[in-house]
Amino acid sequence: MSGSKALGGARRRRTRCRRCQACMRTECGECHFCKDMKKFGGPGRMKQSCLLRQCTAPVLPHTAVCFSCGEAGKEDTVDTEEEKFSLSLMECTICNEIIHPSCLKMGKAEGIINDEIPNCWECPKCHKEGKTSKDGGDGSGKRRMDNGEVGRWKLTDDPPPTKKKPPSLEDGGRQDGHKRKKEKELPQDSGPKKKMKGAHEKRLKKKQKPNVSETAESNGPNSSTGGGQGSGGGSNSTQSPTSTASQDQRSHHREKLERFKRMCQLLERVRESSSSSSSSSESDSESDSDSNSARERNRERDRERDRRLAELGFSASEDSEGSVKEEEEEEAVEEQVVGDKPRRRGEGPPRGRKGLTTDGNDEESVERSRKSTPLPPPSPLSSTQPPPSSGHGPSPGSEGFSGKRSNGSETRNGRTRAGVRDRETQEKENANNSGGSGANHRHGTGKGNKGNKIRSNKQTGSQPTSRNSSSNSSGGMSALAASPRSQPSRMAPRSQMMKRSPPAVPSPPRPVQMERHLVRPPPACPEPHCLPLDSGSSHVMPRDVWLRVFQHLSQRELCVCMRVCRTWSRWCCDKRLWTQIDLSRQRSITPPMLSGIIRRQPVSLNLGYTNISKKQLMWLINRLQGLLELNVSGCPWSSVSALCQAACPCLRLLDLSRVEDMKDSHLRELLAPPTDTRTAHGESRGGRFQNVTELRLAGLDLTDVTSRLLVRYLPHLTKLDLSQCGNITDQTIHTLTSPMSPLKDSLTHLNLAGCVKVTEQCLPLLRRCASLQSADLRSCTLLTPDVCQLLSFPCPDDRVLLKNS
């Protein structure tokens, strides 16, 4: 900081780019840092970004201005790379000065650009004065290898475990790493990486980057690490013997660089970005991919995957895993496309689905994009790519698109890459949706669509119900990729039921995890009507025919089909194929499942005997405004109570059978109209479920009080199941069939089976029900068979009286 202060005074901290894969993610909620966050229930003391969201290409803040002319970066105003470079702000890793290369008197050519971090270089001045970064050079070699791992991850990862990953890194240096802080003093051995606190660090701050540059002799090529040192382990420490404070610092910076680098390698590819004399980052990084790094990468990838799976909650379930993986892969592909510019495409190989062709990619992006609300028109970028998608594809589509929110800020950020800008522009357009990258909570909160929840995207894709095995089968499909187009998105608006809590307030019960989950609404563009084949022609069977075929498949089978290709995936998502979704008895309801449900907008949803949480249910219900049937039987009241704050105007059937711990008071809470503003969703007068015609309360510990609630709040009830409600007496029947009860005319089916307190007295009462067609009185021990016989209804033929046995 000193450095910066010296310059401009204010500290110039870098901020996340919001475009890299990491930035586009949502907090995992599980890492050390997430757990510390207040929104995840932590104390908020660590104030660190989620491990999965650590930006790989931090950019200068929007407020950064040229030290010389005081203006911001202006690369946007020109077209050529050369000019862009001259007008963009560059931060020197040595003196920290931020300046327009064009504002330098000395030739900017002298500067050594660091490709790995946007707008970062060793300014000509410093370079000339011999302050080469390399000083740290040595450091360079040292760098990361020590852990052999990725710096960044490592660093962060460590914490969780405890403090560090002790063993590995240090060996050479010795481990004090963990305590790094304490000994700020000891320059010498302090672990290369972390510590540095040693004195002067400040000025050095960023220097490290140098490694990249050729300056760093050894490392030059692969800065990363080490290659040189070889394997890793702790090499650096070794060299550090002499290390002085400065060196430490350096190493620190270097470390940072390393982090970025690795991240780049792993998550994205390093951007080639322009210019730069020095190194070619990309090549470099790639190059280094010697076996070591390659291995590392793989490892990372695997880890990442595991992490994600875990997040998604899939890890546990058997087959689901496959699907998730696939999703991930897709995501990866998309991200590449999105996130960075085209360049990547070529290489993408490792991760994405193999088969994808360019089209495939596009499509992917499209797919992704659909999630966000109605997308704006294509847009600039799109030109090349398939229309719809491309437009947003990039940004929005990607999960992160959330990131783009804001204001002009983007402009600046984008500077590094031209292409990006367009994207950003779009993003802005889409801004609505974007909640903002997870940065602010607010977004998080309710607005479904908006929120951006990155991770959700991926999940979205996955289908809820399904849990099929095959993992990435996809391969071939890619060929099929078609131009997507799809249907309207509907969910946007809803969702907010959870109002955003007033800022300062201790935030009421805001959904924590789920709220951050972004669900891609159904594609905004029409679905393809035909199935493109590799040959370029279309399959003879058009969509309608395929849909007819799909209608004969089970949901599980549909899930399998969804893996076939993009087109099928979309077709199989047709709401008509998913009018009913049954997740009953699923061990756990995972975010991907929820997303999948939302995307399919079922008319009937069975969540019976699941462990769905209150937040999940609330989140879900508020995004299923068209739901007609809901089954939450066997779920705990603590979860079902979410319905007390929900609005289900269309709901016709509600199954609350055997809801754990549910009592009369709960039912009142559920049926009564919202009394306070918070829940008021419009339906105040008639009760929250006033349009429900079928209610199942089987097996609940309800009393006759319930009947009054039903009469009062469910005037249109036609089918009522009170079976196994041991405390129900004739009083209930009396209430339901009283002259004042609207139910006496509406009820057509009444189930009192197992209501052991019901007596023969109820029979005449039942006769008061003008429309009653059947009454199930089986297992009503106080009733005798003959009594049942006596019961007669106006239209005997239709009536059925079951009496038991």
Partner DNA sequence: AGCAACGTCCCG
Partner DNA sequence: CGGGACGTTGCT
Reduced to 3 states (helix: H, G, I; strand: E, B; else coil), residue 696 is strand
Site string for DNA, 181-210 (x = CB under 7 A): ----------------x---xx--x-----
Site residues (CB under 7 A) for DNA, limited to 501-540: 503-504, 507
* Residue number with CB closer to DNA (74 or 566): 74
* Residue number with CB closer to DNA (37 or 572): 37
C-beta of 42: minimal distance to DNA in Å? Answer: 10
Decide if residue 442 touches DNA (CB under 7 A): yes
C-beta of 266: minimal distance to DNA in Å? Answer: 17
* Residue number with CB closer to DNA (452 or 746): 452
- Residue from 436, 446, 634, 754 in contact with DNA (CB under 7 A): 436
H/E element, 73: none
CA 351 – CA 223 distance, rounded (Å): 23
* Residue number with CB closer to DNA (41 or 764): 41
Confirm if 208 and 133 have CB atoms less than 8 A apart.
yes
* Residue number with CB closer to DNA (177 or 227): 177
> Taking contact as CB under 7 A, which single stretch among the options 276-284, 435-443, 591-599, 705-713 is the one that binds DNA?
435-443
797, exposed or middle or buried, with CB in 10 Å at 0-12, 13-18, 19+?
A: exposed
Say which residues have a Cβ less than 8 Å from residue 126's Cβ, sequence separation at least 6. Answer: 92, 94, 95, 132
| Dihedral sign of CA atoms 572, 575, 579, 583 in order | positive
Confirm if 222 and 175 have CB atoms less than 8 A apart.
no
> Taking contact as CB under 7 A, which single stretch among the options 13-21, 459-467, 659-667, 796-804 is the one that binds DNA?
13-21
- Residue from 20, 28, 52, 64 in contact with DNA (CB under 7 A): 64
* Residue number with CB closer to DNA (44 or 346): 44
Site residues (CB under 7 A) for DNA, limited to 474-503: 500, 503
Say which residues have a Cβ less than 8 Å from residue 86's Cβ, sequence separation at least 6. Answer: 100, 101, 102, 108
* Residue number with CB closer to DNA (504 or 740): 504
Output helix, strand, coil percentages for the chain, rounded to the nearest 5. Answer: 45, 5, 50
Sole residue written with tokens 């550090």: 240
* Residue number with CB closer to DNA (436 or 484): 436
Confirm if 261 and 270 have CB atoms less than 8 A apart.
yes
* Residue number with CB closer to DNA (23 or 366): 23
190, exposed or middle or buried, with CB in 10 Å at 0-12, 13-18, 19+?
A: buried
Decide if residue 10 touches DNA (CB under 7 A): yes
CA 796 – CA 790 distance, rounded (Å): 12
C-beta of 668: minimal distance to DNA in Å? Answer: 33
* Residue number with CB closer to DNA (165 or 197): 197
User: Token pair of 462, please?
Assistant: 């996955």
C-beta of 442: minimal distance to DNA in Å? Answer: 5
Secondary structure letter of residue 412 according to DSSP: H
How many residues touch DNA under the rule CB under 7 A: the total is 49
- Residue from 162, 383, 384, 440 in contact with DNA (CB under 7 A): 440
Site string for DNA, 230-259 (x = CB under 7 A): --------------------------x---
H/E element, 776: strand 774-777
C-beta of 285: minimal distance to DNA in Å? Answer: 20
Report CA Rg, the chain: 31
Decide if residue 444 touches DNA (CB under 7 A): yes
Decide if residue 425 touches DNA (CB under 7 A): no
- Residue from 208, 293, 409, 495 in contact with DNA (CB under 7 A): 409
C-beta of 392: minimal distance to DNA in Å? Answer: 17
Decide if residue 14 touches DNA (CB under 7 A): yes
Decide if residue 650 touches DNA (CB under 7 A): no
* Residue number with CB closer to DNA (439 or 654): 439
C-beta of 447: minimal distance to DNA in Å? Answer: 9
User: Token pair of 98, please?
Assistant: 């931020």
* Residue number with CB closer to DNA (45 or 685): 45
> Taking contact as CB under 7 A, which single stretch among the options 12-20, 219-227, 272-280, 318-326 is the one that binds DNA?
12-20
289, exposed or middle or buried, with CB in 10 Å at 0-12, 13-18, 19+?
A: middle
Site residues (CB under 7 A) for DNA, limited to 76-95: none
Sequence-ordered alpha helix ranges (H) in 143-226: 151-157, 166-170, 201-204
C-beta of 500: minimal distance to DNA in Å? Answer: 6
CA 53 – CA 710 distance, rounded (Å): 49
- Residue from 137, 339, 435, 448 in contact with DNA (CB under 7 A): 435
Give the total residue count for the chain: 805
Site string for DNA, 21-50 (x = CB under 7 A): ------x---------xxx-----xxxxxx
User: Token pair of 763, please?
Assistant: 């029979």
- Residue from 162, 298, 407, 537 in contact with DNA (CB under 7 A): 407
* Residue number with CB closer to DNA (123 or 670): 123
Confirm if 296 and 288 have CB atoms less than 8 A apart.
no
CA 432 – CA 419 distance, rounded (Å): 22
CA 246 – CA 192 distance, rounded (Å): 11
Reduced to 3 states (helix: H, G, I; strand: E, B; else coil), residue 122 is strand
Decide if residue 58 touches DNA (CB under 7 A): yes
Decide if residue 281 touches DNA (CB under 7 A): no
C-beta of 226: minimal distance to DNA in Å? Answer: 22
Q: Are strands 629-631 and 604-606 parallel, antiparallel or unpaired?
A: parallel
* Residue number with CB closer to DNA (401 or 571): 401
Decide if residue 180 touches DNA (CB under 7 A): no
Decide if residue 16 touches DNA (CB under 7 A): yes
C-beta of 53: minimal distance to DNA in Å? Answer: 6
> Taking contact as CB under 7 A, which single stretch among the options 431-439, 567-575, 603-611, 792-800 is the one that binds DNA?
431-439
Burial 217-246 (b: 16+ CB within 10 A, else e): ebbbbbbbbbbbbeebbbbbbbbbeebebb
Which of 744, 685, 742, 683 lies closest to 714, judged by CA?
742
CA 471 – CA 658 distance, rounded (Å): 36
Which of 223, 208, 225 lies closest to 91, judged by CA?
208
Q: Are strands 112-114 and 749-751 parallel, antiparallel or unpaired?
A: unpaired
- Residue from 131, 271, 353, 405 in contact with DNA (CB under 7 A): 405
- Residue from 52, 55, 481, 750 in contact with DNA (CB under 7 A): 55
Decide if residue 15 touches DNA (CB under 7 A): yes
C-beta of 37: minimal distance to DNA in Å? Answer: 6
C-beta of 427: minimal distance to DNA in Å? Answer: 10
Instruction: Please state, as a whole number, how many other Cβ atoms lie within 10 Å of the Cβ of residue 667.
Output: 22
Instruction: List strands edge to edge, sheet with 120-122.
Output: 98-99, 90-92, 120-122, 112-114
User: What beta strand segments (E) does 665-754 contain?
Assistant: 694-696, 719-721, 749-751
Secondary structure letter of residue 524 according to DSSP: S
* Residue number with CB closer to DNA (10 or 316): 10
Residues that bind DNA (CB under 7 A): 1, 10-16, 18, 27, 37-39, 45-50, 53-55, 58, 61-64, 197, 201-202, 205, 256, 405-407, 409, 435-436, 438-444, 500, 503-504, 507
